[in-house]
A and B are shown apart, each in its own frame.
Chain A
């Protein structure tokens, strides 16, 4: 078994002051500038914009948005975090070296 050393699966420090796209459990999707985070992946986003979903198909986002401003994202509901300008591959977090 592992030694129980806590290591973050994703290093959010490199995304500070960068645009990120966050998808939530339940289908909500927002973008914003990452201003802060904690170990539980709670996030602070500035100039946050939510993408509104199609009421008939909640899995589809429309082009409509609404501005939210400065927000806190709950880490328990965060599903995906990606940079606004593309995808980034991380080291395999399941490998124990």
Chain B
């Protein structure tokens, strides 16, 4: 059986590609991963931020470059998007 995949290594491989980030609340972001640190604070470029209201409507905001606080990051999906 092949070795296990280390989670932070998988995120590292994603540097330069699109990354879909799902927060613990009803917020998601997609952006190009520029880098991250041990706490998984993340630098993203060309970001689309999705917010989901109680009635299910999504709001999109576009941002050029952000530093995302890793405190509330729950899931990271390389190359994915909530538009699927």
Contact = CB atoms under 8 A, between A and B. Distances in A.
Interface of A: 16-17, 24-26, 28, 30, 35-38, 42-44, 48, 50, 55-56, 67-77
B66 to A, nearest CB: 18
B5 A35 contact: yes
Contact of B24 (A67, A68, A77): A77
Given A28-B22, A70-B78, A74-B73, A36 B7 contact: yes
B80 A68 contact: yes
15 contacts: A28-B24, A28-B74, A30-B75, A38-B6, A44-B6, A44-B7, A50-B22, A55-B56, A56-B54, A68-B77, A70-B77, A71-B76, A71-B77, A72-B11, A77-B74
Given A36-B6, A77-B74, 4 more contacts: A44-B6, A48-B77, A69-B77, A72-B10
Interface centre among A43, A56, A76 (most CB of B within 10 A): A76
B29 to A, nearest CB: 14
Nearest to B38: A40
Interface string B37-57: 000100000000000001110
B25 to A, nearest CB: 6
Contacts of B40: 74
B78 A26 contact: no
Contacts of B61: none
A70 B84 CA distance: 15
Interface centre among A16, A30, A71 (most CB of B within 10 A): A71
